[in-house]
Amino acid sequence: MKSKLHKKRLGFQRERELVRQFWKRGFACMRAPASGAKTKRTPYPDIVAIKNGRIFIIEVKTREKRSTVYIPNGQMLKLLEFSRRSGGLALIALKFIDGSGWRFIEVSKLERTRSGNWKVTPEMWDEGLTIEDLDRMCRGEKSLEEYIKS
C-alpha cells in the first residue's frame, strides 16, 4: 500500500515537471485535480496544454526503463472524448526515466491489443514529437499534417 502511494506521488511529481516545461516555453498548462475528482463523472486528461489557441490533451506515462506501455481502453475513450469536445489534439506523453526525455505520441499512432486495449512501443517513442515540435506547431511554422505523417 505504501509503495502504491509512493508510486502515485512520484507520478504527480513527474506531471508537475512536465507542466513546468510547458510553462517555461510559454504555454498555458493545467494539471487535472487529483484522483478522486478525476475518476468520477468528468473524464479529465492528466494535462491540458494550450498556446496561441492550439490545444493539446495529454495523458502522462512514465516507465523506469525503455518498455512498452499499455493503456486501458476506458482511459483512451476518456482522452478521446475530451479531445473531441475541445477540438484539441490527444497525445500520450511518455518518458523513460533512465536517461530519455519526454516524447509525445499522437493517439492515432497507437496499436490495439487483442484484449482491446492500446499500446505505446519504444519505437513509437523514438518517432514521437518533442516539446519543441509542439511549440513550433503553436507558432504555425508547420501544419499538423506535416508533423503527423500517417
Active site residues: 35
C-alpha cell at 61: 506515462
Interface positions, 87-146, toward a copy of itself (CB under 8 A): 87-88
Smallest distance, a copy of itself to C-beta of residue 66, A = 30
Smallest distance, a copy of itself to C-beta of residue 97, A = 22
Q: If binding is defined by CB under 8 A, does position 53 make contact with a copy of itself?
A: yes
- Edge to edge, what strands does the sheet with 47-51 contain? 28-31, 47-51, 54-63, 89-96, 102-106
Q: Is 95 left (phi over 0), alpha (psi -120 to 50) or beta?
A: beta
Nearer to a copy of itself, 116 or 144 (CB): 144
Smallest distance, a copy of itself to C-beta of residue 73, A = 20
Q: Which residues contact 28 (CB under 8 A, 6 or more apart)?
A: 49, 50, 51
Smallest distance, a copy of itself to C-beta of residue 64, A = 25
Among 14, 18, 19, 60, binds a copy of itself (CB under 8 A): 19
Q: If binding is defined by CB under 8 A, does position 42 make contact with a copy of itself?
A: yes
C-alpha cell at 67: 518498455
Alpha-carbon separation of residue 128 from 19, 44, 73, 148 (angstroms): 18, 23, 21, 9
Binding site for a copy of itself (CB under 8 A): 16, 19-20, 23, 26-34, 37, 41-42, 44-45, 48, 50-55, 57, 82-83, 85-88
